[in-house]
Structure 1
């Protein structure tokens, strides 16, 4: 009697709480037959076409420049080196200058100036220096080897070390580094560097030190050297730039004249 009274009270308080023990059924056991089965693999990722690989993208433009330069040696090609020399001599005569001897290093001065202005490069100072050293080693060895093997005479007949142009390779290698390091900040850094490198190539032909084929192939060798250095480089010191907390800004005032403002925020 007391048991039925208790059930009645429980049903009033909350229906369904009181259940007859005979009506209770044990729960179904968990399915463990597939416990260690490997989950089905997702859809296979499509392979990137070969023309979109890093190696192809890094070498396609230098290969075209080197190939075109080689095709115009002497009197070959649609617009040969002889044709280019004839037109340059008509336009500039006997004009000569040594500005290209200094201008070939100008992209490096651009790097220094941009960094001092506080603009962040892609790599820190140490890794940037390593990339530069590696690029220089690849470029210098390649230029010297090809010059020795091809034995092309210069337009002024001074020697047989004409192809490719070392000055042009140096300038375009440095310009490629500028473009890679600062293209995320502004494309104008790379445009300025490549403009300087192109002027070096023009002056080498105006000075009658190189053929058209030499400067075009030299540009390809320079760009390729920088690209190979980046492709083979492993950044082992982190990608945070060092020394980015240093800034130098030119100042001028009527009272104090010209000067420089140097800021330093130590970490």
Structure 2
């Protein structure tokens, strides 16, 4: 199993490093009311080398992962799909579990738990939910399109929709959201989320449901969807959010209509 864990660990480190580099030049104060994650802070030099530009920073790591997945398709080298499958079958024959069906959403539970514990995320909750919804739509559209365009057989021969792994894409998308929202508190939130996501990819291969190429590409599609969602978001389409959750209850009365109660909610 050495190939599997070394590669997944390498993928985690690449992703965490890309986020760390991407946010190192962007102070938290610059984003108190927007989701312009890759926006150039006021006063910074606008002229950048091509490799420092927003789109390059957002897409470099996920495109590398997708490229590695494509390169591994139908390969018969010592580090190919077939070699990985043979190693899995030799070490863990008959392995079966359904935990990966649930574990793919675990990073969102981490984000929810942090919210309940009063740990502020990088962006307000309404905009975070909008970004999640947009990222999920992008990921589902991309993964579904590629699955039914490439028509790759699963390792167990159960279906012809193996490439890329939807479970892995979902897990890495959620992990990317967690890291983006909580990295200003600690990088360990992201490291934990990406470790869970990598575990989902490993379990998909151990369950004989996906090839290594599917998992690598799935991770890339998930991360890329999250990055594009942040990069294209424009703060509730131009509306400046409130920084406080406010619930207002007030009595009402109308002549001839009787008394009542009105309620209004201003989300944070």
> Given the two structures, how large is their TM-score scaled by the length of structure 2?
0.72
1:185 Cα deviation (Å)? 0.8
- 1:122 maps to which residue? 122
| 1:242-253 to 2 correspondences below 5 Å | 242-243=244-245
1:238 aligns with 2:240: yes
CA RMSD of aligned residues (A): 1.7
1:163 Cα deviation (Å)? 0.1
The answer on whether the counterparts of 1:169 and 1:220 sit within 8 Å (CA) in structure 2 is yes
* Paired positions, count: 201
Report the 3-state secondary structure (helix = DSSP H, G, I; strand = E; otherwise coil) of the residue aligned with 1:97. coil
5+ unaligned residues in a row in structure 2: which ranges?
A: 1-44, 247-267
- 1:264 maps to which residue? none
The superposition leaves residues 173-211 of structure 1 with CA deviations (integer Å, 9 ceiling, x where unpaired) of 000000001111100000010000000000000000000
The superposition leaves residues 98-128 of structure 1 with CA deviations (integer Å, 9 ceiling, x where unpaired) of 0000000000100100111111111111100
Task: Give me the whole-angstrom Cα distance separating, in 1, the residues matched to 2:49 and 2:135.
Answer: 28
- 1:206 maps to which residue? 206
The answer on whether the counterparts of 2:77 and 2:83 sit within 8 Å (CA) in structure 1 is no
Task: Give me the whole-angstrom Cα distance separating, in 2, the residues matched to 1:77 and 1:47.
Answer: 43
Runs of 4+ in 1 over 6 A off after TM superposition: none
Report the 3-state secondary structure (helix = DSSP H, G, I; strand = E; otherwise coil) of the residue aligned with 2:201. helix
Flag the structure with higher helix content. Answer: 2
1:46 to 1:71, Cα distance in 2 relative to 1, 3 A:
same
> Given the two structures, how large is their TM-score scaled by the length of structure 1?
0.72
Task: Give me the whole-angstrom Cα distance separating, in 1, the residues matched to 2:133 and 2:112.
Answer: 15
5+ unaligned residues in a row in structure 1: which ranges?
A: 1-44, 245-266
The answer on whether the counterparts of 1:75 and 1:83 sit within 8 Å (CA) in structure 2 is no
Q: Which structure: larger Rg? A: 1
1:78 Cα deviation (Å)? 5.4
| 1:85-234 to 2 correspondences below 5 Å | 85-234=85-234
Task: Give me the whole-angstrom Cα distance separating, in 1, the residues matched to 2:218 and 2:92.
Answer: 22
1:90 Cα deviation (Å)? 1.1
The superposition leaves residues 33-73 of structure 1 with CA deviations (integer Å, 9 ceiling, x where unpaired) of xxxxxxxxxxxx67210100110000000010000011001
- 1:21 maps to which residue? none
Task: Give me the whole-angstrom Cα distance separating, in 2, the residues matched to 1:195 and 1:52.
Answer: 27
The superposition leaves residues 208-233 of structure 1 with CA deviations (integer Å, 9 ceiling, x where unpaired) of 00000000000000000000000000
